[in-house]
Structure 1
Amino acid sequence: MEALVGKALDECMGSQSTILPEGVIVLGRILSREKNTLDLEGRLLNRVKLCILKGKIHDLEDSSHTGLSEVFNRSYHDFSPSDHVRLKQQCFQLLASFAENSEMRVTEVCQLLMVVLDREWNVRFGQNGMSSELNEDEAYALLYDLAQRSLVSVEEVSSTGRIKTIRLKGLMRDFCVSVAKQADLQLQVIDSGNLDQEMGSFASGRTAKEVHPMTKQRMLSINGAMDDRQCRNISKNARYWGLSSFICSETLPAGSGLKKLLKRFKRLRILKLENQESFVKIAKRIGKLKFLMFLSLKCSLVKEVPSSISELKFLQTLDLRTNCALKLPNLLWKLKRLRHLCLPHEGYIVRGEEKLRLDGLISLRKLVNISIEDCDLKVLVTFRKLERLVCVRRSPGQVSFPRTDDKFDCLKSLTVEIPFGADVDISPILSCCGPSVKRLRLIGIRTLPEVNEFPPNLHKLTLKKAYLRDDPMMILGKLPYLKFLRLLAKVFNGTEMNCSQGDFKLLVSLRLEKQQHLERWNVAEGSLCHLQRLEIVECRNLSPNPDALRRAPLLREILIHEMPEQFKSEVQRQMQNLTLLLA
């Protein structure tokens, strides 16, 4: 096999050296599934040569990535059973719509997949006794399968092992575009490099009577800035009037061109207007997009959302994480099918100075950046499908969650963020956390809850900016099911941390980051008995203590980042049997 790899590398070098890693990774995944027979090496070498030396990406005659399309084709056809071919084609179409080499958050891609595959999933499984709606777990399983076959690059993984971000690099993205074109999915991707060339076709568009419905584009992705004239040309071209997806990750003009786009695209199901650097006014006509299921204004300058947004009866995802405070109508409660609601982190103003009404959102699964003042726990606990909740206090002063005796049924993740100078009693919301809550993130709290106040089955805990005077390990070490602990910036103002005997019985991962006052960390015998990964980041006053590390018998990996060289060298000298990641 070593000889095979050497010969394969020789074949790949030269003009294709820039894409060598992609092809080798995908090829390795395929070859790992081959049966081990006597002629294995010769057979594999022949296949490698064929994959490398033959073929071009279909429909991309000018592509310089020759000879690896067969590699991707084999991995693609192995991706899913043949009876799901339409599902995977549309999955690849969606991935191709993102800008080349851009980092994609898996949660967002899953939400888009739920829209793109909604109709096909219902046809395939809705009449076979299975769920007629694609849920987040099933969408994630599709992406995870792609990552296992290296058709997408995994960029970031959470401490629990779940994929957080992925990236689609050069040749892989070209392949996704080719799959969409072969399947006749009417995808058009406009990158910054070919923007001027594509604009020429918009200006020469035909009238609606001259365009057959089957030849109209269904998904348009624009990854380059356009001016007002170019926007108008798109709106005049009749073959784009039937668009189901309009994705724009660069600045659009703030003039009348955007209004005309919304007027023409009446059948949109996905509308992404992200990273808009000039102020965008969302027209009242957005309520006429009656098929819209996904709307994102993330990282854009938007001041106000019109009341007509309440008319989007099929809306599933509404991402309003804009770059400025947002004025909202108190009508979001009418969106009965809304699953994901992300509000601006910078704050929002409800018209009429009322509390934001949410009682009608019976399908809600994720609620992000809701103000603590608007957190009526008596209402939120009635959301039987709510899985993730992020509560934020944006101003100093004293406030408390309202108390209730009910508990969340399905809540898995809770975040509470409090600014410096605010005094918030979080015990009422912690008392609502039942056995389903596995992840907890607390930012800005001034007092650590007692052991019996934490969720009973807590697996992952993140603390940040708590400025605690007492050693938090004395309480955290008693949490019976805690597996992942992250102490981020300024959690502890003391100089010494102690892990007592019998503490952290199930902890497998620990991160200490930016504990500026911490000088010593002691670990007693019988503590951290299951710890496997330790991360120490920017704790510049911390002294090396190899004895503490030796008391964690299963410790295999240590990440040391932005620490003094003396600390790095001492740990490296004393712990030679461990995997050290130094930066």
Structure 2
Amino acid sequence: MVLKCESLPLAISLLGGVLIKKKSIDEWELVNRNINTYLYRGEGVEKEKKLDGVLNLSYEDLPYYLKPCLLYMGQFRGDQIIYVGTLYRLWIAEGMISRDHGHGDNETLMDIAELYLNELVSRSIVNVEVEDFLKEQRYVSCRLHDAGKEDFGLQIIENDQSGNFGTLLDPKTRHLVIHCHEVQVELENDGFPSTRDDSRRYKNIEFLHNILDLHKFKLLRVLVIRRCNFKGRKLPRGIANLVHLKYLGLFCCALDELPSSISNLRYLYTLDSWDVRVPNVLKKMHRLKHLVLPYYRKENIGEYRLRLEGLEELEILYGFDSLVHDLKSVTKMKNLQYFEAIAHDNQSVSSIINAITTNWKKLRFCKLVIGHGCEITPTKEGSMFLKKVFTCSDLHYLWIHVHVGKLIHEYHNEIIGSRIVRLQLMECEIEEDPMEILGKLSSLQQLFLSNRSYVGKHLKCHALDFPCLKNLVLKCLPNLKEWRVEKGAMPALSEIEINRCLRLKMVPYGLRFVSTLKKLKITGMRKIGKKCFGIIKWSRRRGFLQSPACDFHYCRRLNE
């Protein structure tokens, strides 16, 4: 069967995905007999055609409930990253996920959606990016093979310049994907700096109300609008008539605020509103399970407040802001599983930590940003506050953007038990080397020290420290002169970025022992950059990559 695939790696992989589900010799022989039907029998058949045949065989072999899920993925561009959380919510909104395929009563539809994707992955039909999270692997993003789109009967309207989409739409339309050219548009951004996509690029299309009249599409279940410029900064009319809508997603759109009429969307399951304000009507939307709210700039909030009562069944809440939202309602959400928040006062931080440890028993992921307005004073109260944050067992991503000073060193033993996976410190002005303490965080995978987070002169990574660290960023540390790395430190490190640490003399010699290092990025530091590149060029001319100053023979990519 491998010979029939013409040694095409993708074809062999797909065929293996079919065979892995077959448990007997008879089933294997049946695949062997049927494969010729899909490979377009006859001499002179091109390799591409045979690949198409294997793709068809893979699709036909899927269980009935996976076929629509695979076809649905075809609406995304071949080079587009599909974040699995968004994909799961879209599948759910379309009614593609059934509780009949779950393994227990406590499983949510999101859990079952992950099982569906896992089966597609096991068949080699979908590519995925995996990350280790608290010693467990989970999917981050996925892609459909480029070669599979046309074969699976998917049609996408791309780069239509007319903008006359009304002629393309039918009242019975359930799915429509339109890809347009991108242009740069200067718009105010209300988003707080975050890990979200904060691109200011918008599609070259202005949605006029006579082009997209939502009155016609009463059967619509999913409406996703991404990076579009709306005339008058308002949604097209008819949004309130989409009574069957289960997913509403607005991403990077030129839009001021959703209309209050969205309260009529009583069956709405997911509301993704990344940078569009939401009116105070959420209490009427009792079926909401997933809510993504925008991050706000403090100076743009004004008198705006958003009440979150009546959402006790919520499972996902991203974008909570203590300046805008009432925390009392959130702490009552017993089913909360994913939570992201920014807190601007100590009381909000303490309430969130208490809810994590007492009320949110189903919590799987939590990100907390301790922003401006919080105070971590050099007192007993300040020390206890910091200890409470670091020792919270279900806090995974932690951003600290306020002054810390010496307090981080006072609870060395307690902090060691932290389960934090990603840590970002900004403007903390830590005076003593924090690496000895942070290096003991056994779950830490990403560390960002930036914007005067450390004001000392020396950093040292000891042997056996940072056992799981993969990404390290040192940015705008004005006093840093020397960084030392002992042999055995950071054994899993793959990427380093050093940005505008202007007094740093040289990249650590000890990095030569980090065999996992793949990328070293140096920006805003021309002297060090020239030294590193000069050493590499000199070494390559002589046939080796070792020198007394530094050794990058493991590093696959070096950016200046």
Aligned to 1:388: 338
For structure 1, list consecutive stretches of 5 or more residues without a partner in the other structure. 10-19, 56-62, 179-187, 209-215, 226-247
Distance 1:567 1:436 in 2: 41
Contact conserved, 2:166 with 2:211, CA < 8 A, in 1?
no
SS of alignment partner, residue 67 of structure 1: helix
Contact conserved, 2:486 with 2:510, CA < 8 A, in 1?
no
Contact conserved, 1:521 with 1:548, CA < 8 A, in 2?
no
**Is 1:146–2:109 an aligned residue pair?**
no
Change (3 A) 1:249 1:168: farther
Aligned to 2:495: 535
Alignment of 1:245-264 (within 5 A): 251=205, 253-258=207-212, 261-264=213-216
Change (3 A) 1:507 1:100: closer
Q: Show CA shifts across 1:209-243 (max 9, x none).
A: xxxxxxx5432333348xxxxxxxxxxxxxxxxxx
Alignment of 1:344-363 (within 5 A): 344-346=294-296, 353=303, 355-363=305-313
TM-score, L = length of structure 1: 0.68
Aligned to 2:197: none
Alignment of 1:315-354 (within 5 A): 315-322=268-275, 326-346=276-296, 353=303
Aligned to 2:146: 170
Aligned to 2:402: 445
Aligned to 2:508: 545
Contact conserved, 1:327 with 1:351, CA < 8 A, in 2?
no
Contact conserved, 2:84 with 2:142, CA < 8 A, in 1?
yes
Aligned to 1:410: 362
Change (3 A) 1:255 1:194: closer
Alignment of 1:550-561 (within 5 A): 550=513, 556-561=516-521
Counterpart selection for 1:494 from 451, 456, 477: 456
Q: Show CA shifts across 1:397-445 (max 9, x none).
A: x7752744553323333334466x6545698798489865151230523
Aligned to 1:105: 83
- 1:515 offset after TM fit, Å? 5.5
Contact conserved, 2:163 with 2:205, CA < 8 A, in 1?
no
Aligned to 2:228: 276
Distance 1:195 1:54 in 2: 44
SS of alignment partner, residue 497 of structure 1: strand
Counterpart selection for 1:512 from 470, 473, 481: 473
Distance 1:285 1:49 in 2: 49
Aligned to 2:249: 296
Distance 2:398 2:106 in 1: 33
Distance 1:336 1:434 in 2: 34
Distance 2:165 2:270 in 1: 30
Distance 1:48 1:521 in 2: 62
Aligned to 1:12: none
Q: Write the letter of the residue equivalent to 2:419.
A: L
SS of alignment partner, residue 337 of structure 1: coil
Q: Show CA shifts across 1:104-156 (max 9, x none).
A: 222211111122245x614x458xx85598522332332244344442344x5
Q: Show CA shifts across 1:183-213 (max 9, x none).
A: xxxxx643336989997665xx7xx9xxxxx
Aligned to 1:182: none
SS of alignment partner, residue 230 of structure 2: coil
Counterpart selection for 2:157 from 190, 205, 218: 190
Distance 1:410 1:312 in 2: 27
SS of alignment partner, residue 367 of structure 2: strand
Contact conserved, 2:173 with 2:217, CA < 8 A, in 1?
no
Distance 1:54 1:378 in 2: 70
**Is 1:401–2:348 an aligned residue pair?**
yes
Contact conserved, 1:393 with 1:418, CA < 8 A, in 2?
yes
Distance 2:83 2:291 in 1: 16
Aligned to 1:265: 217
Alignment of 1:184-263 (within 5 A): 189-192=156-159, 216-224=172-180, 251=205, 253-258=207-212, 261-263=213-215
Counterpart selection for 1:573 from 542, 546, 558: 546
Q: Show CA shifts across 1:73-108 (max 9, x none).
A: 233345x5x3xx1x2121023212224432222221
Alignment of 1:32-43 (within 5 A): none
Q: Write the letter of the residue equivalent to 1:386.
A: L
- 1:266 offset after TM fit, Å? 1.5
Contact conserved, 1:377 with 1:402, CA < 8 A, in 2?
no
- 1:355 offset after TM fit, Å? 3.6
* Matched length: 493
- 1:276 offset after TM fit, Å? 1.0
Aligned to 1:94: 72
Contact conserved, 1:114 with 1:134, CA < 8 A, in 2?
no
Contact conserved, 1:430 with 1:455, CA < 8 A, in 2?
no
Distance 1:321 1:51 in 2: 45
SS of alignment partner, residue 380 of structure 1: helix
SS of alignment partner, residue 263 of structure 1: helix
Aligned to 1:244: none
Q: Write the letter of the residue equivalent to 1:221.
A: V
Distance 2:130 2:119 in 1: 15
Aligned to 1:232: none
Q: Write the letter of the residue equivalent to 2:293.
A: L
**Is 1:68–2:51 an aligned residue pair?**
yes
SS of alignment partner, residue 91 of structure 1: helix
Contact conserved, 2:295 with 2:321, CA < 8 A, in 1?
no
Distance 2:457 2:36 in 1: 58
Q: Percent identity?
A: 23
Distance 2:163 2:56 in 1: 31
Q: Show CA shifts across 1:342-370 (max 9, x none).
A: 22234599999364211321122222222
- 1:329 offset after TM fit, Å? 2.1
For structure 2, list consecutive stretches of 5 or more residues without a partner in the other structure. 182-201, 377-381, 524-528, 540-544
Change (3 A) 1:132 1:94: farther
Contact conserved, 2:20 with 2:123, CA < 8 A, in 1?
no
Q: Write the letter of the residue equivalent to 2:225.
A: L
Q: Show CA shifts across 1:284-321 (max 9, x none).
A: 74333222211011111111222222232222211111
Change (3 A) 1:69 1:29: same
Q: Write the letter of the residue equivalent to 1:494.
A: G
- 1:478 offset after TM fit, Å? 3.9
Distance 1:310 1:430 in 2: 42
TM-score, L = length of structure 2: 0.71
**Is 1:305–2:258 an aligned residue pair?**
yes
Contact conserved, 1:330 with 1:357, CA < 8 A, in 2?
yes
Contact conserved, 1:330 with 1:351, CA < 8 A, in 2?
no
Contact conserved, 1:482 with 1:507, CA < 8 A, in 2?
yes
Aligned to 2:322: 372
Q: Write the letter of the residue equivalent to 1:176.
A: F
Contact conserved, 2:449 with 2:474, CA < 8 A, in 1?
yes
SS of alignment partner, residue 363 of structure 1: coil
Aligned to 1:482: 443
